[in-house]
Amino acid sequence: MAILSPSILAADAMRLGEDIQGIKNNGCRWVHVDVMDGLFVPNLSFGYSTVKAIRGITDLVLDVHLMIDRPIRYVDDFCKAGADYLTIHVEADTAENTMAALERIRAHGVKPGIVVKPKTPAEAIIPFLEKCDMVLVMTVEPGFGGQKFMADMMPKVKQLRQLLDQVNPSCHLEVDGGVDLTNCQLCKDSGSDVLVAGSAYFKAADKPFFVQELEK
């Protein structure tokens, strides 16, 4: 069974607390928080103060995705703010700093993860797979919501699932970007067990049905 992690990037900023409560009421166990710094990606979104505020109002699993430059500078803050999973981009820093950041995340008792953008090959994250509790494959270019799903990322998902089955079989494999009811089965068939949906979830006329269909 898959896990849906609705992305609050597509939520109503004026009703964020209500939308997060709705995520739980509609049957979800996770919520996805996209953090953008305007440098690593050309947009700004949430910071660790938002994560802390969300932690104060929900017991949902906080799946925090850092789209920021040199994340090692901020992982302590996001861990202390209440993240359950904290994923960082392999493209955002040196291999040495990336490894150090993953280790620092785990030292806080938070589950670390690594992320790859569409143009980054799976091989780039092989050195980090054993250190992770989650691997995230972007199926859009990071930085903006509402983009079209890139089905040509599925071979990468399959490749990473095979690699993880060899070295870290309990690691989650997440897909983020344009996921909806028309392509979620393809993601699951390719080996993903955590699916991020933003626009598709929040625009769904029947959200409980959307959650059930995506997670089955």
| Catalytic residue flag (residue 76) | no
Select which of 19, 63, 93, 176 is catalytic: 176
**DSSP element (H, E) containing 174:** strand 172-176
Angle at 144 between CA 141 and CA 150, to 5 degrees: 35
* DSSP state at residue 69: S
**Coil, strand or helix: which one is 173?**
strand
Q: Is 59 a catalytic residue?
A: no
Dist CA 18 CA 91 (whole Å): 34
Q: Which of 34, 37, 63, 93 is catalytic?
A: 34
117 with 138: CB under 8 angstroms?
yes
Active site residues: 34, 176
